[in-house]
Amino acid sequence: MAANAIEIRGLTKIYGGGRNSPEKRALQGIDLDIPQGSVFGLLGPNGAGKSTLINILAGLVIKTAGRVTIWGFDQDHNPRQSRASIGVMPQELNLDPFFTPREALEVQAGLYGVPRRQRRSDEILRMVGLEDKAGAYARTLSGGMRRRLLLGKALVHHPHVLVLDEPTAGVDIELRQMLWENVRKLNQQGMTIILTTHYLEEAEEMCDEIAIINLGQLVARDSTVNLLRRLDSRTMILHPDGPVGRLPEGEGLDVTQRGDGALVIRYRSAETPAEAVLAAVRAAGICIRDVKTEQADLQDVFLELTRRR
Ligand SMILES: Nc1ncnc2c1ncn2[C@@H]1O[C@H](COP(=O)(O)OP(=O)(O)OP(=O)(O)O)[C@@H](O)[C@H]1O
């Protein structure tokens, strides 16, 4: 068994390039290893190439160049085994409206060639909280229930690797909790989990390791702890109680003044305690009327990482 669940080398995807569509380089030579047993976050802004990458793993999009190995099986040389090793919960709610959840799971299991006696439709329905809806048509299911069913469908062939593409975009708190409980449980049972998300908080909570892609390129790949340590920038927004004569100064402080008079002070919490920021403000003779702090969000992370490049 390979030590990495997924190995990606020089992965490139170019869309279009026909007479009416300009060429789009969605992935530009990605190298990435995803360790077995990890909960791995794939982050990136809209259009970064996350879905393209996931769809290539799922066998839904054909790569232009590069090598993909899933659970030790090269996608080109062992397409059947590599496909059988991975289950994907897609972003779109693409379900056949005329199948009931139980039928949908059975059909999916049939597509993957799972013998009848190895099928676990009822167990999966229970796991995703759809046992009451086992016989209802998909078209009568709520959006949240459809997502649960998509998760169930991704699991019918007992994959080693489960990919969740934006699983919590627009879902309510209850479903989010159910999803994360299931993800934790499956991971404890040894399943490698890959998830894409826009929410840094979610990645922070769930993922051991994170890769960030931007414009089809890998811009960071590290353990979550290390990544967040690198990205511990804070912003303090101060509303002064009167005109500002001079801006606060101090090591590690990046101070600007907004059009409305507010001071925007960026600093790293690991290097500069909030008290040092406030002391610098007082030393500049500024009285504070109001203050708030903001943590770096994914957008800042991107700006920082892409700027660094
Ligand atoms: N079928 C396609 N034909 C042409 N261009 C495409 C196609 N699919 C995606 N793209 C382009 O490739 C780039 C990467 O898209 P992709 O959907 O992989 O990004 P993403 O990171 O998943 O974004 P999002 O978070 O919005 O889903 C984008 O510029 C997108 O417009």
Q: How confident is the model at residue 1 (pLDDT cuts 50, 70, 90)?
A: very low
In this prediction, residues 45-72 reach a mean pLDDT of: 93
Q: How far apart are the first and last CA of the chain?
A: 36
Output the pTM of the full model.
0.80
Task: Look at residue 114 in the predicted model and tell me its pLDDT.
Answer: 93
Task: Look at residue 167 in the predicted model and tell me its pLDDT.
Answer: 87
Instruction: Tell me whether residue 206 is exposed, middle or buried, using C-beta atoms within 10 angstroms of its C-beta: 0 to 12, 13 to 18, 19 or more.
Output: buried
Q: Which atom of ligand 1 is nearest to the CA of 52?
A: 18
Q: Are 211 and 32 contacting, i.e. CB atoms less than 8 angstroms apart?
A: yes
Per the domain annotation, does 5 fall within a domain? no
Residue 138 pLDDT greater than 60, yes or no: yes
Residue 43 and residue 125 share a domain: yes
Q: How far is the CA of 257 from the centre of ligand 1 (A)?
A: 37
Sequence letter at residue 138: A
Residue 242 and residue 191 share a domain: no
> Could you read off the pLDDT of 149-160 as tens digits, one per residue?
999 999 999 999
Q: How far is the CA of 51 from the centre of ligand 1 (A)?
A: 7
Among 75, 97, 86, smallest CA distance to 146 is for 97
Q: How confident is the model at residue 298 (pLDDT cuts 50, 70, 90)?
A: low
In this prediction, residues 91-117 reach a mean pLDDT of: 90
> Domain count of the chain?
2
Q: Which of 177, 196, 229 is the last residue of a domain?
A: 229
Residue 239 and residue 165 share a domain: no
Residue 263 and residue 139 share a domain: no
Q: What percent of the chain has pLDDT over 70?
A: 94
In this prediction, residues 45-54 reach a mean pLDDT of: 89
Q: Which residues, listed in sequence order, are joined to residue 112 by a DSSP beta bridge?
A: none
Residue 172 and residue 122 share a domain: yes
Q: Check if 188 has its Cβ closer than 6 Å to any atom of ligand 1.
A: no
Residue 205 and residue 272 share a domain: no
Q: How far is the CA of 87 from the centre of ligand 1 (A)?
A: 21
Per the domain annotation, does 16 fall within a domain? no
Q: How far is the CA of 46 from the centre of ligand 1 (A)?
A: 8
Task: Look at residue 168 in the predicted model and tell me its pLDDT.
Answer: 83
Residue 162 and residue 57 share a domain: yes
Asked if ipTM goes beyond 0.90, one says yes
Q: Residue 159 sits in which domain range?
A: 35-62+74-210+219-229
Residue 44 pLDDT greater than 70, yes or no: yes
> Could you read off the pLDDT of 253-279 as tens digits, one per residue?
999 999 999 999 999 888 899 999 999
Q: Are 255 and 207 contacting, i.e. CB atoms less than 8 angstroms apart?
A: no
Q: What percent of the chain has pLDDT over 90?
A: 65
CA dist 84 → 40, 154, 261 (Å): 20, 11, 59
CA dist 9 → 6, 33, 57, 244 (Å): 10, 9, 12, 54
Half-sphere exposure of 84 (CA within 13 A, CB side): 12
Q: Which residues, listed in sequence order, are joined to residue 233 by a DSSP beta bridge?
A: 268
Residue 172 and residue 116 share a domain: yes
Per the domain annotation, does 49 fall within a domain? yes
Q: How confident is the model at residue 227 (pLDDT cuts 50, 70, 90)?
A: confident
Q: How far is the CA of 52 from the centre of ligand 1 (A)?
A: 6
Q: Check if 50 has its Cβ closer than 6 Å to any atom of ligand 1.
A: yes
Residue 129 pLDDT greater than 70, yes or no: yes
Per the domain annotation, does 293 fall within a domain? yes
Give φ, ψ of 124 to 5 degrees: -65, -40
Q: Check if 13 has its Cβ closer than 6 Å to any atom of ligand 1.
A: no
Task: Look at residue 163 in the predicted model and tell me its pLDDT.
Answer: 96
> Could you read off the pLDDT of 19-28 as tens digits, one per residue?
777 889 999 9
Per the domain annotation, does 263 fall within a domain? yes
Tokens 């600007």 identify what position?
256
> Could you read off the pLDDT of 172-203 as tens digits, one per residue?
888 889 889 999 999 999 999 999 987 777 88
Q: Check if 44 has its Cβ closer than 6 Å to any atom of ligand 1.
A: yes
Task: Look at residue 77 in the predicted model and tell me its pLDDT.
Answer: 96
Residue 193 and residue 143 share a domain: yes
- Tokens at 108, concatenated: 């999916």
Q: How far is the CA of 142 from the centre of ligand 1 (A)?
A: 27
Residue 246 and residue 205 share a domain: no
Residue 283 and residue 147 share a domain: no
Half-sphere exposure of 289 (CA within 13 A, CB side): 9
Sheet order of strands, 254-257 included: 254-257, 263-268, 233-240, 288-295
| Domain containing residue 50: CATH number | 3.40.50.300
Residue 230 pLDDT greater than 90, yes or no: no
Per the domain annotation, does 167 fall within a domain? yes
- Tokens at 156, concatenated: 């019918």
The chain-wide mean pLDDT, for the chain, equals: 90
Q: Are 137 and 100 contacting, i.e. CB atoms less than 8 angstroms apart?
A: yes
Per the domain annotation, does 29 fall within a domain? no
Residue 286 and residue 192 share a domain: no
Residue 117 pLDDT greater than 80, yes or no: yes
Q: Check if 199 has its Cβ closer than 6 Å to any atom of ligand 1.
A: no
Task: For residues 155 and 295, give the distance between their C-alpha atoms in angstroms, rounded to a whole number.
Answer: 36
| Domain containing residue 265: CATH number | 3.30.70
DSSP state of 287: P
Q: Which atom of ligand 1 is nearest to the CA of 213?
A: 21
